[in-house]
Amino acid sequence: MYENHRHHAAFMASVFQFGIYGLLSKTLPWVYRAYHSRGFSHAYFSAVMTVWIDVIREFMDQSASDILTIYEWMLTRHEETVQLSLRPAIEPDAGSTVWQLDYERFRDALLIGDVSVCLEIAQSRVDTAERMVDFFVHVLQPAMQAVGARWENGLISVAQEHLASAIVSRILASISTSGFSSAPTRGTAVVSAAANEFHEIGAWMLASCLESDGWDVQYLGANTPCSDLLDFVRSVKPDLLCISVAMIFNISAVKTVIDGVRSQPDLDGMRVLVGGQALLHDPDIFHVLKADAMATDCKSAMNVARALISRRASESRLS
C-alpha cells in the first residue's frame, strides 16, 4: 500500500505535467487488476480516491481545481474501471509463424524456471545478427510480456517474475555479439534505462542489436540517475541516446534527461530515441518528451536509429 501511494504520486505528477490523460484512462484498469490480484479489495480504490479528494480540498488552494476534477472523474468511473479490470490481461503470441513454436516452448520453460531449455533454444537459434534480432522480437520480448500478464492476472508471484527476468538476463549475457558484429561505423550510441527504472531487459536487447548493426555502444544498464546520465552524455557526446522506460511513473525522469540534453548547445546534433512498455499505450508521448523518435521493439529501434542518423547527415549536407 505504501508503494502504491508513492508510485501513484509520481504517476499523477507525470499526468498533470504532460497532460497525458488518455494514458491515465488506459492505465487505471491495469492498476485495479494488478493490485486486486495481490489481495487489494476493489473498494480500496474508491476509498483511497475519496481520501485523496479530501486532502486536495484541505491542503491545496483554488489553483488545484483542475487536479480535483481529475480525481473526481476517476471516482465517478470507479465501477466502470472495476469491470474493465476484470478482463484478464492478454498474453501475446510470437507475431511470426516461423517463431511461434520456439516462443511457446521458451515461454513455458521460462514460466517454470527451466533455464537449460531456455538456453538451448537461444543457443540453437541465434547464429547470425539477423536471427538474434528476430529471436529478441519474436521470442524474448513476447515471453516477458506473457510473464508480465500472468503476474498482472495473479497467476504467478513476484519471485517467479524475478526468476524469469533473471533467466532472460543470463541468456542475454550468454549471447556474444562479437561473432557477428560489423565494425562500428554508424556512430556512438549511449543506451540506458531511466532513473528509478529497474527493468533493463529492453535496453539490453537494444544495446546488443545496435552493436550488431555497427554502432559503438555504451550500455549503462538499469536505474541510471538523471544527473549522472547527463554528465556521461556530455562527456561522451554520442550520436544517439536511447532511453528505455517500463513503468509509467518514471516518465518524468526521461523528460528531465531530454530537457538537460536540449539545453546543451554542444549536444545539438545528438538524436534521442525512447521506448519501453510505459510508452506503448500512448506512442505520441515521445512528442511531449521532445524525443526525436520512439520505437516499440528493438528491431524497429535499430531501423529508427539508422534513419535518425541518416537524416542528420542529410541535414548537415544541406546546411
Compute the C-alpha angle 158/170/201, nearest 5°: 65
Burial 23-53 (b: 16+ CB within 10 A, else e): bbbebbbbbbbbbbbeebebeebeebbeebb
Q: Is 244 within 8 Å of 202 (Cβ atoms)?
A: yes
The closest alpha carbon to 209, from 185, 177, 239, belongs to 177
The pLDDT of residue 311 is above 90: no
pTM above 0.75, yes or no: yes
The pLDDT of residue 53 is above 70: yes
The backbone torsions φ and ψ at residue 245, rounded to the nearest 5 degrees and listed phi first, read -140, 120
pLDDT, tens only, 12-33: 998 998 888 988 999 999 999 9
The pLDDT of residue 318 is above 80: no
- pLDDT band for 280, please (50, 70, 90 cuts): confident
pLDDT, tens only, 128-153: 999 999 999 999 999 999 999 999 99
pLDDT, tens only, 194-216: 999 999 999 999 999 999 999 99
What is the pLDDT averaged over residues 36-46?
94
- pLDDT band for 239, please (50, 70, 90 cuts): very high
pLDDT, tens only, 241-273: 999 999 988 999 999 999 999 999 999 989 999
What is the pLDDT averaged over residues 176-187?
76
The closest alpha carbon to 80, from 34, 38, 44, 28, belongs to 28
Which DSSP helix (H) or strand (E) runs through 89? none
From CA 11, how far away is CA 202, in angstroms rounded?
A: 21
From CA 167, how far away is CA 58, in angstroms rounded?
A: 49
What is the pLDDT averaged over residues 47-63?
90
From CA 197, how far away is CA 193, in angstroms rounded?
A: 6
What is the pLDDT averaged over residues 26-41?
94
